Amino acid sequence: MNSTTSKSDTSNAVAATPENSRVQAYVELTKMRITVMVLVTFVVAAALAANGLPDLWAMFFGSIGMLFVAASGNAMNMYVERYSDFLMPRTAGRPLPAQKLLPTEVAIFGAATIGIGTAILWLTVNWQTAVCGLANWILYVGIYTPMKRKTWFNTEVGSIAGAMPILMGSLATTGSDTTSPTITFSAWVFFAVLVLWQFPHFMAIAWKYRHQYEAGGLKMLTVIDPTGRRAGRKSVVTAVLLLIVSLLPIFEMTTIYHAVFLAAGAVYLGWIYLKASIEFAKDPNDVTAKALMRKSLVYLPSYMLVLILAYLIK
């Protein structure tokens, strides 16, 4: 909201919001589609680390704790970015710029959910997963989100924060009464894949909304370089690295058939993603950016399926 909007005007607007709309606004704070994807990566990483069906108790409470941590991170992201959200059409309808909730209400919601999520993970899973979840929250809310107004390097930090639930999944399901939880090789590879996957994915988004990001004062690479050349090069380089890293689980395959299956799936998916990145780099425009976005949304769930089948189907 801009400086001409008084606190009393905001309070009056929020007070006039119907109760059912306020409930919906709290749901919107969680960015549920993103939160669900976070939960999926957490569960897949947990299954891979356990090399089969993980402990259902840890999975159940771990997922609930992860849900609260992710919901808090998304809510606090909206709290920190409420002024820039007001300036961008794609985010102007969010609860704070649309005056559906007060900033204090969002801050309380964010504080409560990170507290509940951390407590659940600590008390029902293990302290290592809880600490990793809290570190993830700090990285996302306290470092990545403010960085978006200062430097284009925010994407690198954001990609790490986006992949950390994978490490949490491994920590949640590898410990026992006699051993400490660990981050397995498969989890580290999956983590690296998710970090690299995010760059072409976000470069496409950053291109599409480059003018809105500029209006909101966010220092995305497509704002710093409006030609899109640097975003295109970054997409290609990270897509190449992604293809290479995605093949690393071959070293843990139990049979040649599993190795061939994983290699075929990883190369096929990686080449499709790389080809879309190359097309975007050659000619950054709305058409090539949209195509890259579509390929990114196909790649991730498809690669996760390949991993699950390669590791868990005996």
> Tell me, what's the pLDDT at 21?
84
Q: Are 223 and 168 contained in the same domain? A: no
Say whether both 45 and 163 belong to one domain: yes
> How many domains does one find in the chain?
2
Q: Domain residues for 133?
A: 7-174
- What is the torsion angle, in degrees rounded to the nearest 10, for the CA atoms of residue 296, residue 90, residue 19 and residue 13? 160
Element (H, E) at 178: none
DSSP state of 270: H
Low-confidence ranges of the chain (pLDDT < 70): 1-19, 177-178
Claim to verify: residue 122 and residue 196 sit in the same structural domain: no
Structural domain contains residue 202 = yes
Rounded Cα distance between 178 and 76, Å, is 38
Q: What is the pLDDT of residue 77?
A: 97
- pLDDT of 19: 67
Question: So what's the pLDDT on residue 313?
Answer: 84
Predicted TM-score of the model (pTM): 0.91
> For residue 71, what pLDDT is reported?
96
Specify whether the CB–CB gap between 182 and 174 falls below 8 A.
yes
The predicted structure's pLDDT at residue 231: 97
For residue 177, what pLDDT is reported? 66
Amino acid in position 295: K
Residues 188 and 310 in one domain: yes
Triad 166, 252, 257: Cα angle to 5°: 120
Write down the pLDDT at residue 1: 47
Which of 121, 147, 174 is a domain's end point? Answer: 174
CATH number of 119's domain: 1.10.357.140
Residue 179 falls within a domain, yes or no?
no
Please tell me the predicted confidence (pLDDT) of residue 4: 46
